Amino acid sequence: MTARKHLASVIAVLMMTAPSPADGPDKWYRDGRAAVESAKRLAPNRENARNVILFIGDGMGVSTVTAARILAGQIQGTPGEEKVLNFEKLPYTALIKTYNTNQQTPDSAGTMTAMVTGVKTKAGVLSMDERTMRGDHADANARRLTTILELAERAGLSTGIVTTSSVTHATPAALYAHSPERAWQSDGNLPGEARSDGFPDIARQLIEFAEGNGVDVVLGGGRAFFLPDFLRDPEHSEISGQRRDGRDLTAQWVKSERAVYVWNKSQFDAVDASATDRLLGLFEPDHMNYEHDRASDKASEPSLSEMTARAVDLLSKNSKGFFLMVEGARIDHAHHATNPFRALTETIEFDKAVAAAKKKTNSGDTLIIVTADHGSSMTMGGYATRGNPILGKVVHNNARGEPASGPARDALGLPYATLNYAAGPGYHGASAEQPEGTKRFPHDGDGFRPATIPRPDLSDVDTQDPDYLGECMIPLGSGVHSGEDVPLYAGGPGAYMFHGVLEQNVIFHVMADALGLAGPERQ
> Quick one: three-class SS letters along 41-66?
CCCCCCCCCCEEEEEEECCCCHHHHH
Q: Specify if 440 maps to a domain.
A: no
43: left (phi over 0), alpha (psi -120 to 50) or beta: beta
Q: Specify if 11 maps to a domain.
A: no
CATH number at residue 214: 3.40.720.10
Q: What is the DSSP string of 311-337?
A: HHHHHTT-TT-EEEEEEETHHHHHHHT
For 394, counting Cβ atoms within 10 Å of its Cβ (0-12 exposed, 13-18 middle, 19+ buried), the class is buried
pLDDT tens per residue across span 129-162: 999 999 999 988 899 999 999 999 999 999 999 9
Q: Specify if 320 maps to a domain.
A: yes
Chain centroid, CA 40 distance in Å: 32
Q: Specify if 45 maps to a domain.
A: no
pLDDT tens per residue across span 173-217: 999 999 999 999 999 999 999 999 999 999 999 999 999 999 999
For position 436, what pLDDT does the model report? 43
Q: Specify if 208 maps to a domain.
A: yes
Q: Strand 278-282 to strand 217-221: parallel, antiparallel, or no bridges (unpaired)?
A: parallel
Total number of domains in the chain: 1
407: left (phi over 0), alpha (psi -120 to 50) or beta: beta
**Secondary structure (3-state) at 211:** coil
Residue 45 CA to residue 27 CA, distance in Å, equals: 31
pLDDT tier at 491, thresholds 50, 70, 90: very high
- Within 8 A by CB and 6+ apart from 201, the residues are 179, 184, 185, 186, 187, 189, 190, 225
Q: Specify if 202 maps to a domain.
A: yes
Look up residue 20 and give its amino acid. Answer: S
pLDDT tens per residue across span 390-426: 999 999 999 999 999 999 999 989 999 999 999 999 9
For position 441, what pLDDT does the model report? 36
Residue 155 CA to residue 149 CA, distance in Å, equals: 10
Choice among 63, 108, 179, 482 that is catalytic: 108
Residue 126 CA to residue 117 CA, distance in Å, equals: 10
Average pLDDT score over the chain: 92
Query: Can you list the pairs that 182-187 forms with residues at least 24 positions away whose Cβ atoms lie under 8 Å?
Result: 182/107, 182/108, 182/109, 182/124, 182/125, 182/126, 183/124, 185/222, 185/225, 185/242, 186/224, 186/225, 186/226, 186/242, 186/243, 186/244, 187/243, 187/244, 187/245
Please name which of 300, 306, 299, 312 lies closest in space to residue 273, comparing C-alpha atoms: 312
Least confident segment among 21-25, 222-226, 325-329, 492-496: 21-25
Q: Strand 375-376 to strand 481-482: parallel, antiparallel, or no bridges (unpaired)?
A: antiparallel
For 391, counting Cβ atoms within 10 Å of its Cβ (0-12 exposed, 13-18 middle, 19+ buried), the class is buried
Residue 370 CA to residue 246 CA, distance in Å, equals: 39
Does residue 59 or residue 5 have the better pLDDT? 59
Q: Specify if 276 maps to a domain.
A: yes
108 is catalytic: yes
Q: Which spans in 118-169 are helix H? A: 148-154
Please name which of 153, 285, 167 lies closest in space to residue 209, comparing C-alpha atoms: 153
> What is the residue range of 274's domain?
51-377+480-515
Q: Specify if 33 maps to a domain.
A: no
pLDDT tens per residue across span 226-255: 999 999 999 999 999 999 999 999 999 999
